[in-house]
Amino acid sequence: MPALLLGGVSIACSPILVRISEVGPIATAFWRLALALLPLLLVRRERQPRAAREYFEVAAPGLFLAADLACWHISLHLTTIANSTLLVNLAPIFVTLFSWLVLGQRISRAFLAGLAIAIVGIVILKGGPNSLGGGDVRGDSIAVLAAAFYAGYILLLVHARKRHSTNTIMIWSTISAALCTGVMAWFVEPVLLPRTAAGWMTVVGLAWISQAGGQSLIAFALAWLPPTLSSLTLLIQPVVAALLAALLLHEPLTAAEAVGGLIVIGGIALARRG
């Protein structure tokens, strides 16, 4: 649980770094993945895949991560930011439904109550129901698709962790995700390379802190925690992101955002008891 929470906090840094990146969102996603390979390869110790099935098991999560990032970034250009960020955070609902309907996992009432409370907290954190209107149907639909892809990423990580180490999964899933986002960035981004040293430091921080650090901690934790609880606990990300925005970007934290964050944390705590 501490590893999962620390991973969520590390990923929460990414919106700040994406905001100040000198390149477009998909190009930023590519550098986030490609540059993360350096620390991952430096600490490589475990046996690497040998059969085609093993390669697929460790690379498949990266395909879903690349699809999630692409859909989310596209939705941000088609609908309101409030709608997009809220709908992307619905991934725990997809994980819970899949775990219940397909995997046959028993879902307790306490967990469902915690899930509902956490989603309400996210809505309040994002400005309440009144701020979620005026979105575009296409953009909203793509944001929901991004949430489904992220749910698939979490579930595939859980499956891969039954047979492979954290480092092995992170190396090959990052390679597959980097290849996918690299192709997309080549066709849609007008600028691919940061212009200044500060721009390179931004994508390096995104790669080493959020991707290599945060995603590795999450993959490590998923060997012991159920995917339902893990995906719900990761709702801590927008709470931490709001705090970082207040501290680093001088975006004031409103009373509603503070209340919403506390509600999210309360929902996570209740779900963990369930």
The pLDDT value given to residue 82: 62
- Residues spanned by the domain of 43: 2-273
- Amino acid making up residue 153: Y
The pLDDT value given to residue 205: 92
The pLDDT value given to residue 270: 85
Residues 6+ apart with CB under 8 A from 59: 172, 173, 175, 176
Helix (H, G, I), strand (E, B) or coil at 105: coil
Judge whether 229 and 267 are in contact, CB under 8 Å. no
The pLDDT value given to residue 132: 60
How many beta carbons lie within 10 A of that of residue 145, not counting itself? 19
What's the structural domain count of the chain?
1
pLDDT along the chain (274 residues), means of 10: 89 79 88 93 76 89 91 76 74 86 83 87 75 70 90 91 89 94 91 92 92 90 86 81 76 79 85 77
Cα–Cα dist 12/108, whole Å: 28
pTM for this predicted structure? 0.82
